[in-house]
Structure 1
Amino acid sequence: MDAEESGINSRRRLLPLLLDLEGKLIVIFGGGRVGERKARLFSDYGEVMVVSQEFTPGLMEMKDDLKLVHSNLSHGFEKYLEGAFIVVPATGIFELNSAIEFEARARGLLVNKVDGIGDVVVPSLIRKDPITIAISTESPGLTKYLRLRLEKELTENFQQMALLLSQIRQDLKETVPMQRDRARMIWRILEDEEVWRLLDVSYEKAYMRARSHVCHDERDSLDAGDPPQGLHRRD
């Protein structure tokens, strides 16, 4: 279930994780609107197979990006669980969904339910590369409100800052052995309002300003290369 559709029961202790689904198979049972929505979500991250007797026009348009399998799910669905990492029962038939879930759990597979809380709950996501924020609350309305509000607050400056810090961290790892020293330098950059202001003007100028917070020995080693490019140049 998606976080904006259902509140998360606080009595269950769910650990937020970021999963690398590349090369992992997500099997979705049901080719209706719910199955289509799940396919659109998971196909951005892993390999998706949708098993159903019928498919929405939207799923048919996605046939080059995922695998569609025509099958009567009233019997023999078990064979489609082979090799699955996540299973999504979305047939619209409660009894069939329950049977698929039971068999998937018996095989040690993760289940993403559409009518309750399964092993995998997909939070509401904000993706502005290289930043990803996941939101989940007990109230679908609050989850949506937080997502919309954070999307407004998360301006391009944050993306630029993430790229800038990533570059400086990589450079510092080669010259500053102690993690706490690197963290202190990074924090000084984050607290420098002038760096944030310069990100609106020029990524390169912001980068040079950020380097002023690196101690002299490390700054000399960074001077060997040109400042990296941000999302785009704005001189």
Structure 2
Amino acid sequence: MAGQRVKESRMIPVFISPDERLVTVFGGGVVALRKCLHFKGFRIKVVSESFLPQLRDLADECIEIILNEENCGGYMDGAFLIIAATGSKKLNRKILEKARDRGILTNSSHGGGDLLIPSVLRREGFAVAVSSEGRVPVFSPYVISKINQALDPAYDGMLRLLSRVRPKIMDGIGSQPKSAERMTTQL
């Protein structure tokens, strides 16, 4: 199999830095709000005919317009990610199609997007993300709640300590595999 690429159909978990990236959300309801909250720190533009008040506070820009299959593509310029969170499956499909034609990553409240938004547990210095990969969305928050119960609060202090000693360990050892092994023994 040398030189051959093996196609893996599962999704890949990543953490992405906002770096002034634009997330454009189509829809102004509860689902749109939840998705916007996940991308807090990114530039957020919301396009909808109506908005929850919290969306107006959270978004950098709100465009109030009656969306349809013809005009939705006009609000995608400069977007890193398009989120289709309207109440219409048909409109969401068209939004995904137009975004993909432009090479923009997609997410949809009705499925079928390029990326899924995981449930996230954030602690002082680390985050844990869980996804059922679209199979049963309610499962992920359940797992996160169980992880939260299981994680000892001392892990926050452990991470603070390791963050302070890591530069010294890396300077003294040099190679990444050896420094990682040394850090692991410190745990």
TM range (shorter): 0.7 to 0.9
Long gaps (5+) in structure 1: 1-10, 191-235
Residue aligning to 1:97:
92
CA distance in 2, matches of 1:33, 1:142: 19
CA distance in 1, matches of 2:177, 2:28: 51
Residue aligning to 2:164:
167
Change (3 A) 1:98 1:180: closer
CA distance in 2, matches of 1:129, 1:22: 21
Residue aligning to 1:179:
176
Instruction: Please state how far the C-alpha of 1:88 moved relative to its aligned partner.
Output: 0.8
Change (3 A) 1:147 1:174: same
| Fraction of identical pairs, as percent | 30
CA distance in 2, matches of 1:104, 1:183: 41
CA distance in 1, matches of 2:85, 2:137: 20
Q: Residues 103-118 of structure 1 correspond to what in structure 2 (within 5 A)?
A: 103-118=98-113
Instruction: Please state how far the C-alpha of 1:147 moved relative to its aligned partner.
Output: 1.0
CA distance in 2, matches of 1:57, 1:184: 50
Change (3 A) 1:186 1:104: same
Change (3 A) 1:144 1:37: closer
CA distance in 1, matches of 2:84, 2:62: 15
Instruction: Please state how far the C-alpha of 1:66 moved relative to its aligned partner.
Output: 2.2
CA distance in 2, matches of 1:73, 1:91: 9
CA distance in 1, matches of 2:65, 2:137: 34
> Aligned Cα RMSD in Å?
1.9
Change (3 A) 1:95 1:142: closer
Instruction: Please state how far the C-alpha of 1:141 moved relative to its aligned partner.
Output: 4.7
1:69 correspondence with 2:63: yes
> 3-state DSSP class of the match of 1:112?
strand
Instruction: Please state how far the C-alpha of 1:171 moved relative to its aligned partner.
Output: 1.6
Relative contact order, higher structure (CA 8 A, sep 6+): 1
Instruction: Please state how far the C-alpha of 1:118 moved relative to its aligned partner.
Output: 1.2
Residue aligning to 1:28:
25
1:119 correspondence with 2:76: no
Long gaps (5+) in structure 2: 1-7
Count of residue correspondences:
177
Q: Residues 214-225 of structure 1 correspond to what in structure 2 (within 5 A)?
A: none
CA distance in 1, matches of 2:123, 2:74: 38
Normalising by structure 1, we get a TM-score of: 0.69
- Aligned residue identity for 1:161: M
Q: Residues 17-56 of structure 1 correspond to what in structure 2 (within 5 A)?
A: 17-42=14-39, 44-56=40-52
